Amino acid sequence: MSSSSPPGDTPIWPLFQTILGSITQVILVCVSGYVLARRGILDKSTQKQLNVINVNFFTPCLLFSKVAFILSPAKLRELWIIPIFFLLVSGVSLVVAWFLGNVFRLRPSQRNFAMAAATFMNSNSLPVALLQSLRCHNDTKDAIIGRALTYLLLCSTIGQFLRWSYGVHLLSKADPLEEEIGNTTGFQDDATHGHTTSHQLRPRTCVAPNRRHTTPVFYSFPSTPFLDAVNLPPEPETDSISDSDSNPDDDELQIPVWSRPSPTFLQRVGRSVRSIWKKVTNFLTPPLWASLISLAVALNQPLQHVLEVHLHPVQGAITQAGNCSIPVTLVVLGAYFHRPVEKTEAAPSTARSSWRRASFASSLREIFRLKAREEDRRSRVQQRVGKGEGRTIFVAIFARMIVVPALFLPFMAIGALRDHPPVFQDPVFILSNVLLLASPPALTLAQITQAVSSDTFERLISRTIFWSYCFVTPPAMVGYAVVAMLITKL
């Protein structure tokens, strides 16, 4: 990895072993989630509850521990180029995925998913594991890891800001097609069951309920042509009129709008402030709050010193809670691969009497017939909703791991050739950024999709993670690592 080492010293096999080891760890934790879901321990409701706990507690602790106790104002001043580089990569990834989504005619929600998967890359576990396996003749392993963590941590911090702000906005947009399918389900059910009985097709006779608090006074007279005539019990006419007139709801006075006092200046200001604060709180998710607070702590060195030295148990508790975030995310992600089979109703017992079996025969035939129609309708709906999933996965992976690295690698080579900015003189910086450019989609996307869109992207995110990590990442990351080493020799 140094300028004095020949290209033949490039450690291909250790790199490949490291990549396989990192992916195997992810797969094993996901398999445990699948087994738990298959045994019924990790059902849908439990998955949602785990994700809620993860989003509101474990992930904020992870973000706080990674930023508040490591970054400092001096590091931020020295590495000003990294935030600019990361934002530029994210913006280009977003545009590339949007363009490819339009070319492949993806639906709006699928295009948004592809844009999110292409923009938010794995900036923690996989690049760090790869950099730990590298060696440099003129540098120590601890120094390499220390500088690499600093580079990747800045990118990870900015990435978390983007994921839990704009990423949530992208993945929370509903698909118009799925909304239409959901809204028309009830009408299709009515149409399916409408032929079973003839009286359902006839117009129903409406009889007004006896609710004096909602019926106007003049509807109480029998001569008024409204709805059906109802035989009223013999009552003195005066009582009926007096009862109707005594109803306070019928004679309620409506205050004209012009007579209401206009709000004062302070009331208008308070209303505007409350409206703005409500929008801000809806936008700021718990992980985003944690990122902002951790950045404030990192920029305040006295407060950072208090947390690290005088409040060490607090720091340890936050760090331990943050270490639970990624495993919980992977367990829930593995549970997504399990598709529970719907239980069918058991047939009636043979011990029942013959007359009861005969009476149920026609009903059971009708129930099974309707159930077959319902299953057929659901399969058609799932085909419409799932149409384009393969193209969506292709767009997300192709944009994230092929197109974006191809666009930025020439600029990385030019920067290494001219050693400008000065940070390009560090080979670890070049390796970190190249691995970050080609890194697969972030695993936390599963956490975000479950939090903001429930089960809408469950199958899509699981398939995207499976294809990108199991098939594309091993050869791609080895190739990009070799390219990065060649760039450092320029």
Q: What CATH number is attached to the domain comprising 403?
A: 1.20.1530.20
Least confident of 10-14, 90-94, 212-216: 212-216
Has residue 418 been placed in a domain? yes
Has residue 314 been placed in a domain? yes
**Which contacts qualify for 66-69: CB closer than 8 Å, 24 or more apart?**
66/153, 66/156, 66/157, 66/294, 66/322, 67/153, 67/157, 67/291, 67/294, 67/295, 67/297, 67/298, 68/293, 68/294, 68/295, 68/297, 68/298, 68/304, 68/307, 69/304, 69/307, 69/308, 69/315, 69/319
What's the total number of domains in the chain? 1
User: Residue 371 — pLDDT band, cuts 50, 70, 90?
Assistant: low
Domain that holds residue 432: 7-181+285-338+364-488
Per-residue pLDDT tens for 422-479? Answer: 888 888 888 888 989 999 998 888 888 877 766 678 888 889 998 998 899 888 988 8
User: Residue 59 — pLDDT band, cuts 50, 70, 90?
Assistant: confident
Quote the CA–CA distance of 277 and 109 in Å, as a whole number: 28
What pLDDT is recorded for position 116? 94
Q: Greater confidence, 188 or 459?
A: 459
Query: pTM of the prediction?
Result: 0.66
Say yes or no to pLDDT of 119 above 60.
yes
Mean pLDDT, residues 99-117: 94
Mean pLDDT, residues 192-217: 43
Say yes or no to pLDDT of 147 above 80.
no
What pLDDT is recorded for position 277? 80
How many Cα atoms sit within 13 Å of 378 on the Cβ side?
A: 7
Mean pLDDT, residues 240-266: 57
What are the residues whose beta carbons fall under 8 Å from the beta carbon of 273, sequence distance 6 or more? Answer: none
User: Residue 352 — pLDDT band, cuts 50, 70, 90?
Assistant: very low
Q: How many residues belong to the chain?
A: 490
Q: How far is CA 434 from CA 14, 140, 284, 313, 437, in A?
A: 18, 21, 31, 37, 5
User: Residue 235 — pLDDT band, cuts 50, 70, 90?
Assistant: low
Has residue 256 been placed in a domain? no
What pLDDT is recorded for position 382? 54
User: Residue 256 — pLDDT band, cuts 50, 70, 90?
Assistant: low
Has residue 392 been placed in a domain? yes
Average pLDDT over the chain, rounded to an integer: 75
Mean pLDDT, residues 117-143: 73
Please state, for a pLDDT cut of 70, what percent of the chain lies above it: 66
Per-residue pLDDT tens for 302-345? Answer: 888 888 888 889 989 999 998 898 889 889 888 888 877 655 54
Say yes or no to pLDDT of 383 above 60.
no
Mean pLDDT, residues 140-157: 74
Say yes or no to pLDDT of 240 above 60.
no
* Token pair for 161: 């800001």
Mean pLDDT, residues 400-421: 90
